[in-house]
Amino acid sequence: MENSEPLVIHSKFPPTLGLRSETTSFRHQNVTRIPSTMDWRKKRTVTHIKNQLQCGGCWAFSAVAAMEGIAKLQTSKSISLSEQELVDCDIFGSNIGCEGGCMDDAFKFIIQNRGLNSEARYLYKGVEGHCNKKKESSRAARINDYENMPEFSEKALLKVVAHQPISVAIDAGGSAFQFYEIGIIT
């Protein structure tokens, strides 16, 4: 695989679409007690690891993973939600299916559509399809709001992660990701 090939396959999202205004405050900004570690997997709050295959739908996976974790915290029930519904149906704003997108727009879509389907009902295929309106009408979980936190602030990140799983976007264009095989990138 050539150096530029992973970027074409996995990084189709135009960088300018991800820009947003600066966040000046956020819900957990006054938190003072931050645990030294937080692993939501050990608390069985997040679902299993999922594979986006060759689809550039990382934006959908990120939004769904955060929503699944928060749903588990609120209901004590684990539910796997549908990334495919976002890939197929959320085609407004910066979200363009397997060609990339933005979690903020995914959250807006989920709020506007009063929730998201379960993965069992709207299975992930790893390719863009037509929005299935019949499946889209069934909701397994919903959110009423979302919030951006300050960018590039490890302190802010720790405050939020201490309370709930979050959705993040990262630049996966570096060699650490290009040649990744197994383990945790630090």
Please list the rounded mean pLDDT of every run of 10 residues in the chain (186 residues): 41 43 54 78 89 93 94 92 95 87 93 93 94 80 86 80 85 82 82
Structural domain span for residue 146 = 7-13+47-177
Note whether residue 58 is domain-resident. Answer: yes
- pLDDT, residue 26, reads 55
| Span 35-87, pLDDT tens digits | 778 888 888 988 888 999 999 999 999 999 999 999 998 999 999 999 999 99
| pLDDT above 70 as % of the chain | 82
Quote the number of domains for the chain.
1
Q: Give the side-chain half-sphere CA count within 13 A for 159.
A: 14
Is residue 167 one of the residues assigned to a domain?
Answer: yes
Residues constituting the chain: 186
The pLDDT, as a whole number, for residue 13 is: 44
> Does residue 117 sit within a domain?
yes
Contact 47, 135 (CB under 8 A): no
Q: Is residue 41 part of a domain?
A: no
Q: What is the DSSP string of 38-60?
A: --TTTTT-S------TTS--HHH
The whole-number pLDDT of residue 11 equals 44
Q: Which two tokens stand for residue 140?
A: 């397994």
In a domain, 22, yes or no: no
Please report which residue ranges of the chain form alpha helices under DSSP H: 5-10, 58-75, 83-89, 103-112, 133-136, 154-161, 175-178
pLDDT score at 25:
52
**Domain membership flag for residue 85:** yes
Tell me the CATH number at 167: 3.90.70.10
81 vs 119: CA distance, rounded Å: 5
95 inside domain: yes
Per-residue confidence (pLDDT) for residue 36, from 0 to 100: 79
User: In this predicted structure, what is the pLDDT of residue 136?
Assistant: 64
> How high is the pLDDT of residue 30?
66
Tell me if 36 is assigned to some domain: no
